[in-house]
Amino acid sequence: MKKNDDIDRRKFIKLGLCSSAGLLLGSLYAFSDKPVNSEFKSYKDLYKYNWGYIVDTTRCIGCGACVRACSVENEVPDSYFRTWVERYEINSKEEVRVDSPNGAMQSFKENNFKDEIVKAFFVPKICNHCRNSACTQVCPVGASYHTPDGVVLIDKEHCIGCGYCVQACPYGCRYIDHKKGTADKCTLCYHRIHKGELPACVNACPRNARIFGNLKDPKSNINKILHQRRYGILKPDLGTNPKCFYLGLDLEVK
């Protein structure tokens, strides 16, 4: 009996070692690097930029061209949005109604109030690409990160889809893509801006209500506007330090 026991233990250890070695090798293979085709950008290349974004709420007409362009560009699943347009309406009794039917994908149909509207405006929303973002801090696997040029991105190969970041974002700019099983969000069209194009939403805007540019370049259009106009940010009290600036922001907008 005793002898048999000994053999079993030795076998067990052997088996255990073999299987763990196999697992190690397997995982090494699974996570091995894959070739990247495009011109490789170095850290220094990207450090020249610090992308910023301005939304001019006084010019927005709520046509939803940005929402449609974004969903085509980035294959955003139905009923999720990386950018959307909200409408604020205030009537003479100081009642406020906010709506965004299907993210303004089909624009807006009718006024919400039948009686007199004293004030109404559109506010396009987009990921704020905060300097101190809450979403990157909570990621347990390091799949959500800041690039050197100040864009918050998701490493979709390593995201486990836990959804912590979706809950952490105070602006509701993230969602879980159930097809891919990962979190997803606005990337400021990272593939476009490094090919010299504007983000899809900026490119599609017919009223120049969205302005995009490099904050590190003192001569850029975005810096010029930030010096000329009065701007605000969303939820400044949270200390997220967003890089998306709003011109003509109302107190009602949160």
Positions touching another protein (CB under 8 A) are 24, 27-28, 31-33, 36-38, 40-41, 43, 46, 58-59, 61-65, 69, 72-73, 87-89, 106-111, 113, 117, 120-122, 142-148, 153, 155-158, 187, 190-192, 194-195, 197-198, 200, 203-208
CA 122 remoteness from chain centre: 20
List, in order, residues 6 or more apart from 201 with CB less than 8 Å away.
66, 67, 69, 70, 83, 124, 126, 189, 210
Q: Distances in Å between the alpha carbon of 143 and those of 124, 154, 227?
A: 27, 6, 35
Closest contact distance (angstroms) between CB of 155 and another protein is: 4
Is the CB of 7 or the CB of 139 nearer to another protein?
139
Please give the sequence-ordered ranges of beta strands (E in DSSP) within 113-237, or none if there are none: 117-126, 144-146, 152-154, 175-177, 182-184, 210-214, 231-232
The one-letter amino acid code at 142 reads G
Closest contact distance (angstroms) between CB of 32 and another protein is: 8
Question: How far is it, in rounded angstroms, from Cα 147 to Cα 43?
Answer: 9
Question: How far is it, in rounded angstroms, from Cα 62 to Cα 84?
Answer: 10
Closest contact distance (angstroms) between CB of 151 and another protein is: 9
Closest contact distance (angstroms) between CB of 169 and another protein is: 17
Is the CB of 39 or the CB of 78 nearer to another protein?
39
Is the CB of 7 or the CB of 35 nearer to another protein?
35
Cα–Cα nearest to 34, from 168, 118, 156, 181: 156
Record the tokens describing residue 232, joined without a space: 């605000």
CA 39 remoteness from chain centre: 24
Helix or strand holding residue 44 (H, E):
helix 43-47
Closest contact distance (angstroms) between CB of 4 and another protein is: 28
Is the CB of 4 or the CB of 37 nearer to another protein?
37
Is the CB of 199 or the CB of 242 nearer to another protein?
199
Closest contact distance (angstroms) between CB of 163 and another protein is: 19
Is the CB of 39 or the CB of 237 nearer to another protein?
39
Closest contact distance (angstroms) between CB of 143 and another protein is: 7
**CB-neighbour burial class of residue 120 (10 A; exposed 0-12, middle 13-18, buried 19+):** middle
Is the CB of 131 or the CB of 192 nearer to another protein?
192
